[in-house]
Chains A and B, each alone.
Chain A
């Protein structure tokens, strides 16, 4: 992910030289407006509203960041500065199952690398990647606070512990079977 490109795209969006993707879906705008109406206040609402929108969309497209900035009366680049500062926010779409492999000290000591390797072997993902069908995305996080279960991984909001290579494989294959993807051959890319 290149920050330079992102900035160029933000600039393009701001000067209106943009593409059709600049349009924000009316539902998203309604979501933002409802949130801001229900939570009166000032610019301190930026991070909570970003959380709310990312929860809904799975990521924060630039036109959405711009729309939020306008409503809070700050410049788009100020809002983007916040988005890019915090690891939790992402400007690229994530998978339906977001894998967050814990790389905290306890997991590190108990071989968390093998979890990352097993994810890679099973679905071909590197850290930061998304499968082509957007079923899985992979992140590494700094400690889930589940050190007793090390090595651990979070899939969306659920923590899985005592992971082995085989355990990771089984878990991912189970999730894939559960999802019954329409394009069974379309996985394995590094989005």
Chain B
């Protein structure tokens, strides 16, 4: 494709340096950094979400429009990884102009070529822009969604074509690996990772440098490096986007760790639900092997390292490191007691360094730009940035990377663009099923590992679900418990039985059958499970319940004491009535009612018999005129 053909032959250090020189300006321009003489390119987001919105068809349309207007050889269309703003997809960026186009379809693609490239006019109707309260019109990278972000792990996502290893190299890719092979000693690398303050991005936040040192110092002639890409938290898609958008950054981080710890084999464990991530990572591994950046004697250094992909098979507990290692060994993914930790006794009993996808992607920049630069970002004990997957009741759904210490309010109101549909911000759920809810009242707290823990939640892998006033916190806790009951591996009783009992209690509450003492039982049981479960899954399982009990006690009380669901979500507690003014008499509700509880003549008001009503909500969902009221 154009001037950048896939590397077919092994590269040496000189060839790598030449590539960096040749393409650097071009890629700096794409990333919005100062650059001169960069050619014009059309970047199309080929992240998972945009592809589902037919971005690949948009890319094809751009190419044929370019060909039709005689620009085929001069303007390239580049299919890049996730740009982050999934809500506005498919996204197209004109580089080096820095103009962002949103929700582009085939017609839009033709207009971009004809109007922007042809007539030199920005297509206003499609441009990503935002009118600030002070009257300024902010466009492209100036909109708060992009302007407030600091990209380290996501530095190449949305900038490079993940299928072109040259483009990764040109962004100083594999330069940190070269450094670790030829300039730095293993102890230097570990010292840098340690003083950068990098902590595990998978959730628990263990200092990464210490882990690296443990594995380096562990006795044994065979060691392994593992990437945990079993992103099982519902609502999280950071790992997916990184694997899809910048797979080489993970490969490079792992190779450096191999060099430092003395491991020669690595494994990336990816969820089976992510076929595109598996495909792109597989292609990247093959490209790195062809280029001589994986395999025997990397760049003539004498160091050999290779990576294999292991595909998960749908078990949430495999995100727990000891369970994940059992799964790579081909066994049932049940956790093991720690200690011994994987650093001493990991894969096949050998010392194993296991880190999360985002942690691996952060390694190379730390070595290139220095630990001081990294440590200058963030809070006292949480350094650098964190990638969050922003979803739920939020305007700008997508992927964001922000400095540690940012407030939830900035994320929700500025980056996220606030709550849509005129609703109000109620809480944010972080950390998936193992996490908890942060109430709107705590929105100004600086987010880091410690502050989230104090609020009863956890950083987790980075899923951040925004909830508005229509979400019932009891129902949400029930949803997570149901998830955990199904995903508990069954090995230890506190988790296997305890979560089941908690779920039963929550179901009673959402059905209005609970007694006040049930809330105390829930709380006591939750503490027991936290203290007595074998692994993180069980120890964190009660978080969703305990954090909502702590911050939203009144909502639980309304269910138990008054038989009322303030958010209007628990169907069994709702009373359904038909509003006379809005009813068109279409009789759809009467047809849908499974208990025959709705009567009325065609074109006349229908009435629900409260005696017969089973609170299923069928009438509400079929009514074409929103005449069914549920309170």
Interface residue ranges, A against B (CB under 8 Å):
42-48, 50-51, 81-82, 85-89, 103-110, 114, 117, 141-150, 152, 154, 157-161, 165
Contacts and interface: CB of A to CB of B under 8 A. Distances in A.
Contact of A109 (B52, B272, B467): B467
B332 A85 contact: yes
A117 B237 contact: no
B49 A105 contact: no
28 contacts: A43-B330, A47-B313, A85-B489, A86-B312, A86-B315, A87-B314, A105-B234, A105-B391, A105-B429, A106-B234, A106-B235, A106-B465, A109-B393, A117-B621, A142-B232, A142-B483, A143-B232, A145-B273, A146-B48, A146-B237, A147-B389, A147-B392, A147-B397, A148-B87, A150-B391, A159-B48, A159-B52, A161-B53
A78 B423 CA distance: 52
A113 B222 CA distance: 49
Given A47-B327, A48-B311, A149 B234 contact: no
A42 B348 CA distance: 11
Nearest to B275: A157
Contacts of B311: 47-48, 51
B231 interface: yes
Nearest to A118: B621
Contact of A143 (B235, B275, B330, B397): B235
B550 to A, nearest CB: 19
Contacts of B354: none
Nearest to B50: A148
A160 B52 contact: yes
Contact of A148 (B275, B329, B391): B391
Nearest to A104: B234
Interface residues of B, number: 53
A170 B8 CA distance: 45
B576 interface: no
A46 B311 CA distance: 12
A148 B397 contact: yes
Interface centre among B315, B330, B397, B465 (most CB of A within 10 A): B330
Contacts of A148: 49, 86-87, 89, 237, 391, 397-398
Interface in B419-439: 429, 432
Contacts of A104: 234-235
A142 B237 CA distance: 12
What 4 A-B pairs come out closest when comparing CB atoms?
A: A148-B86, A104-B234, A86-B313, A147-B391
Given A108-B479, A146-B52, A47 B310 contact: yes
B47 to A, nearest CB: 9
B379 interface: no
B100 interface: no
A78 to B, nearest CB: 8
Contact of B52 (A48, A51, A149): A149
Contacts of B391: 105-106, 109, 147-148, 150
Contacts of A117: 621
Interface in B324-342: 327-333
A85 B333 contact: yes
A20 B311 CA distance: 33
Contacts of A48: 310-311
Contact of B314 (A45, A106, A141): A141
B513 interface: no
B283 interface: no
Given A142-B483, A145-B236, A149-B86, A109 B316 contact: no
A142 B318 CA distance: 14
A130 to B, nearest CB: 18
A105 B235 contact: yes
A185 to B, nearest CB: 23
Nearest to A42: B330
B487 to A, nearest CB: 8
Interface string B216-231: 0000000000000001
Contacts of A149: 49, 52-53, 86
B237 A145 contact: yes
Contacts of B536: none
Interface string B361-392: 00000000000000000000000000001011
B240 interface: yes
A59 to B, nearest CB: 14
Contacts of B467: 109
A89 B333 CA distance: 14
Interface string B272-287: 1111000000000000
B463 interface: yes
A46 B528 CA distance: 37
A130 B53 CA distance: 28
Given A47-B310, A86-B314, A109-B393, A147 B52 contact: no
Contacts of A144: 273
A82 B52 contact: no
Contacts of A145: 48, 231, 236-237, 240, 271, 273-274
Interface centre among A45, A50, A104, A110 (most CB of B within 10 A): A104
Contacts of B235: 104-106, 143, 147
Interface string B451-488: 00000000000010101000100000001100100010
Nearest to B240: A145
Contacts of B240: 145
B330 A46 contact: yes
Nearest to A84: B332
B332 to A, nearest CB: 4
Interface centre among B51, B87, B235, B310 (most CB of A within 10 A): B235
A145 B399 CA distance: 11
A88 B465 contact: no
